[in-house]
Amino acid sequence: MKFNQFNLDARLFEGIKRAGFFDATPIQEKAIPIALAGHDMIATAQTGTGKTAAFILPILNKLLAGKLRHSRALIITPTRELAEQIHQTVKQLRPSKRIRQCICIWWSRRSKPDRYAPQRLRDHCRLPWPLTRSLAK
């Protein structure tokens, strides 16, 4: 299946081409239509099969459909390395710099997770874009 067969915003094809994607992988063929329809899913596939693009493309598609001045997507990962991988994929696939992104990494010297971390994430989502942007520097 070709990427142009998905109901994606035409502006995304620039990033898809830049990433060197031609045909969707099996995980992308199954996941992208479900995500575009707004449904939740759990999917597994081997490393290198395009899982990141399978969920990033529908997110970018939705962001392009609305106003671009507020935090509108939050991706939580279990590791810094995965956060960086997703960050790079978004940079590669986004059609322009109008879609901005930042990585916020929570780290603590304590062995136990911070019980207030979920509230801090909710607070971050409520921040206006200029303040959110300044936190990323």
CATH of the domain at 74: 3.40.50.300
Cα gap 2→88, rounded to integer Å: 23
Q: What is the pLDDT of residue 69?
A: 62
- pLDDT tens-digit series, residues 2-58: 888 898 988 899 889 988 888 999 999 999 999 999 888 888 889 888 999 999 999
The CA distance from 5 to 3, in Å, is 5
| Number of structural domains the chain divides into | 1
Q: Rg of the chain's alpha carbons, rounded to an integer?
A: 16
Here the tokens at position 125 are 């989502």
Q: What is the pLDDT of residue 136?
A: 41
Closest among 47, 46, 18, 12 to 32, alpha carbons compared: 12
Domain that holds residue 71: 3-135
More confident residue, 100 or 26: 26
